[in-house]
A = this chain, B = another copy of it.
Amino acid sequence: MRIGDLTAATGASARSLRYYEEQGLLASERSPGGQRHYPESAVARVTLIQTLLAAGLSSSTIYDILPCITEKAIRTPWLAGRLRSELARVEDQISSLHRTRDILAGLVEQYAV
């Protein structure tokens, strides 16, 4: 598939897809004319990237952990620590969001009365 098909399939803009490639998150083959071609699996990969980005992971963090999602063989102590610290960060963020949700929910409830 070409880049237009991938944008249609994932909702990511062409700009974003090129950016992901620039950051090493997404690979592409090139046609003789230089145009990008993606395998079907790229759809899932882009979806995953979007999920992680939406969770506040930076592209460089995603760059670090993506390989160990797709190829399970890569296990280094450094990577394990990286994963754990990102997990901790995400859990912190979740509890922070819970606090905010409770604040907002309380307000909404007051309004409903």
List residues of A whose CB falls within 8 A of some B CB. 48, 51-52, 54-57, 65, 68-69, 72, 75, 79-80, 83-84, 86-87, 90-91, 93-94, 96-101, 103-105, 107-108, 110-111
Contact = CB atoms under 8 A, between A and B. Distances in A.
Contacts of A84: 108
A108 B96 contact: no
Most buried by B among A48, A80, A96, A111: A111
27 contacts: A48-B103, A51-B99, A51-B100, A54-B93, A55-B97, A55-B100, A56-B97, A65-B104, A69-B103, A72-B110, A75-B111, A79-B111, A80-B108, A83-B104, A83-B107, A83-B108, A83-B111, A84-B108, A86-B104, A87-B104, A87-B108, A90-B100, A93-B97, A94-B94, A94-B98, A94-B101, A97-B97
